Amino acid sequence: MAIAEKIQGFITQSSWIRKMFEEGIQLKMEFGAKNVFDFSLGNPNVDPPEDLKKALRLVVEEDLPGKHAYMPNAGYPETREAIADFLSLEHDLTLLRDHIVMTVGAGGALNVIFKTLLNPGDEVLIPAPYFVEYRFYVDNGGGVTRIVPTHEDFSLDLKAIEGGINEKTKAVLINSPNNPTGKVYDAAAIHGLAEIMKRKAREYGNIIYLVSDEPYRDIVYDGIAVPSILKAYPNSLMAFSYSKSLSLPGERIGYIVAHPECEHILDIMGGLTLCNRMLGFVNAPALMQRVIARVQGMKVDVEIYRRKRDLLCDGLASVGYTVKKPEGAFYLFLKAPIDDDVAFTRALQKERILTVPGSGFGGPGYIRIAYCVGDDTIRNAIPGFGEVLKEFK
């Protein structure tokens, strides 16, 4: 075999999102882009805010010495300070720039976190459904993934989590708002999770970290708020990306924030800073760090995504699907009318509708629909969804 067996296996596991995206390219070449309804990729289609574009132009035009040079591995001090000041207000907690490490998006942040925390064989507990690449990030850090179920409505199953934690557990990884379900874990669930983790940490005499992946933190609807893990649990770290909140996925800019009361906080911050370089990320992009320092608290118009959510959910309900509207992010995790989610995905593809099987996210029997697409794509896909549903009734 030309490549490592492990990587060959990972390619198979991770193929569904990219596979559907690539098949969509072929369908668009054959039928024309407007006749293919591609819901496969969570690529934001809402423009960044105008004030961000202005900030970017100002940064590009500034005449600064060393503008494109290396900076401290943790990121520009002024950028980290701006983020710390904003988060201190948002989380009602005193954070300093020394608790922030700038990263190459949330994916980079999670890889740096797990490289820093995990010894070989340490376990990371993850509720399903989950973002497919989490398994790979844990493996990159030498860890082992342990999957636990959620409730039928995708809320945290605290009993399952408590049963899944053992003497090898080093971290619990959550993602809220969740990709692929759009579920927001409420304050009661987060505080319940924190109490379980404190109790289990005492039982086993180990530190158990709560790691929260929050790139969709600002994309929430209907007055729902995302609880602060930092307020709930001292041994916590949060990974954030501006990819969704500011529609900047291609710029790969994010950060890690560690709770100031994390045990061994100086070692943790030193490890995060070193691993940022050791893993090859080196630094988060210089220009975007300068831009981000100027736009704290800014976000895209979430109302646009809310309208898209309602357009999709109401449309699917009108042709016979049972739909519960997601609370955040821009995904609908739709129950398939048959157990075989792959077969259902293939049936939709015959109507030139591209979705992703839930099996790829640890949620068999569902499909993920990314509704960060044009309104016409949503409207024009609804009849096809209806036709496919008829086949299985």
56 found inside a domain: no
pLDDT score at 26: 80
57 found inside a domain: no
140 found inside a domain: yes
312 found inside a domain: yes
Which of 200, 222, 224, 220 minimizes the C-alpha distance to 210?
200
Same domain, 42 and 74: no
Q: Which residue, of 274, 292, 310, is where some domain finishes?
A: 292
Buried b (16+ CB within 10 A) or exposed e, 183-202: bbbbeebbebbbebbeebbe
313 found inside a domain: yes
Q: What is the CATH number of the domain that holds 145?
A: 3.40.640.10
Q: Which residues of the chain have pLDDT under 50?
A: none
DSSP 64-95: -TTTTS---TT--HHHHHHHHHHHHHHHTS--
What amino acid occupies position 310? D
Same domain, 67 and 189: yes
Looking at the DSSP assignment, which residues form a beta bridge with residue 201? Answer: none
Handedness of CA 325, 327, 329, 333 (dihedral sign): negative
Q: Which residue, of 292, 322, 350, is where some domain finishes?
A: 292
pLDDT score at 385: 98
- Pair 191, 210: CB distance under 8 Å: no
Same domain, 257 and 315: no
Buried b (16+ CB within 10 A) or exposed e, 208-229: bbbbbbbbbbbbbbeeeebbbb
The pLDDT mean for the chain works out to: 94
Q: Which residue, of 292, 316, 342, is where some domain finishes?
A: 292
pLDDT score at 28: 79
Q: What is the CATH number of the domain that holds 23?
A: 3.90.1150.10
Own/partner contacts of 20-29, CB < 8 Å, gap of 24 or more, are 20/345, 20/354, 20/355, 20/356, 21/354, 23/349, 23/354, 24/354, 27/349, 27/352, 27/354
Same domain, 45 and 106: no
User: Cα(314)–Cα(375) distance, rounded to whole angstroms?
Assistant: 13
**What are the tens digits of pLDDT across the range 117-148?**
999 999 999 999 999 899 999 999 999 999 99
**Domain of 351, in residue numbers:** 5-49+301-391
pLDDT score at 15: 63
Same domain, 263 and 307: no
55 found inside a domain: no
pLDDT score at 54: 97
Same domain, 168 and 306: no
pLDDT score at 16: 67
pTM across the whole model: 0.95
